[in-house]
Amino acid sequence: MGAPVDAILAWFAREGRALPWRESGASPWGILVSEVMLQQTPVSRVLPLWTAWMERWPTPGALAGATQADAVRAWGRLGYPRRAQRLWECAVAIEERFSGRVPSDQATLRDLPGIGEYTAAAVVAFAFGRRAVVLDTNVRRVLARIVAGTAAPAPHLTGAERALAAEVVPLDSATAATWNVAAMELGALVCTSRAPRCDACPASKWCRWLAQGRPVAASRRVASPWAGSDRQVRGRILALLRAASSPINVAGSSSLQDVEPGQLDRCIEGLVSDGLIHVSSAERGTHEL
C-alpha cells in the first residue's frame, strides 16, 4: 500500500489541523491527556477543556496532588466521566511509580489505570515518535474502505485487521508516527462514517470501496436513544453535584423529579459503585463528588 500511504502523508502535510497536542513542544503527559479526552469525543469539544486542564494540571504530579472529585468536576460535560476518574488514577500511578514521567513503552503504559491498547500505542507513537500500530475508529474505517472494500470495519477488532494495519504502517519510526496521525485525520475529516468526501480523498484512486460503487454496510447498529437514558440521568446527577458547594440530597432534588424513582436510584447506586460520587450521610441521604 505504498502509493496510497504516500498520498495520505502528503495530504496530511497540507491539510492536517494544527492542534496543541500535535505541536513539537507538547509533553507526553499532554498527549496522554488528549488521547483520553478524545475517546468517542470530537476535537471541537475537547480543545477548550484540554487547554484548561493542562493549564491547571500540566504534569501528572499536579493532577495527583488534586482529588478525584477535582478531576471529575473539571471534566464538566465532556461525557463518559469515568475517564476523568481513571485519568486521575493514572496520574497518581505515574507519580508514585515513575516519579512523574510518562512511560515510553506500550506494555508499561497498558499497566496503568485506564490505558488500553489504543491509548498505549498512540502515546508511544505521538509522544515518543516510535513505530506503533495505532488503530482507532477512523484508521480502521480508512483501511476497511481502501484495502478491504467495505463501508465499515467489523464491530470488533480482529487479528486479521491488526495484521493488515501492521503491514501498512511504515517501518521508519518517524514516518510511522506521522502515518498514524494522518490516517486518523483522513478518517475524521474526509473518509467519514456518514458523509465521506471521496472527491477530496488523496487515496481515492486506490480505494476498493469507491471502485465498487460505495456499497453500504450489511447492517448498522441502531444507536440507543440519549434522552431519558441512564447515561443522561447519570450526567445530570454529576452536573448537579459539580454545581453544589456542599453535599446534597440527589434523590430529593427538584431538578430530577421528572426521572422515574427506580431509574434515579439505579443511577445513584451505579455512580457510587463506580466511585464517581460518595455517600456523605446515609441518614440524610446526601451525596457529593
* 86 vs 81: CA distance, rounded Å: 9
Rounded to 5°, angle at Cα 249 from 246 and 250:
105
Is 35 designated active site? Answer: yes
Half-sphere exposure of 218 (CA within 13 A, CB side): 5
How far is residue 272's CA from residue 277's CA, in Å, rounded to a whole number? 5
Q: What is the Cβ-side half-sphere exposure of residue 25, based on CA atoms within 13 angstroms?
A: 2
Residue 11 near residue 182, CB atoms below 8 Å: yes
Measured CA to CA, the distance from residue 106 to residue 122 in angstroms comes to 9
Q: Single out the catalytic residue among 15, 35, 55, 96.
A: 35
User: At 56, which helix (H) or strand (E)?
Assistant: helix 43-56
Enumerate the active-site residues: 35
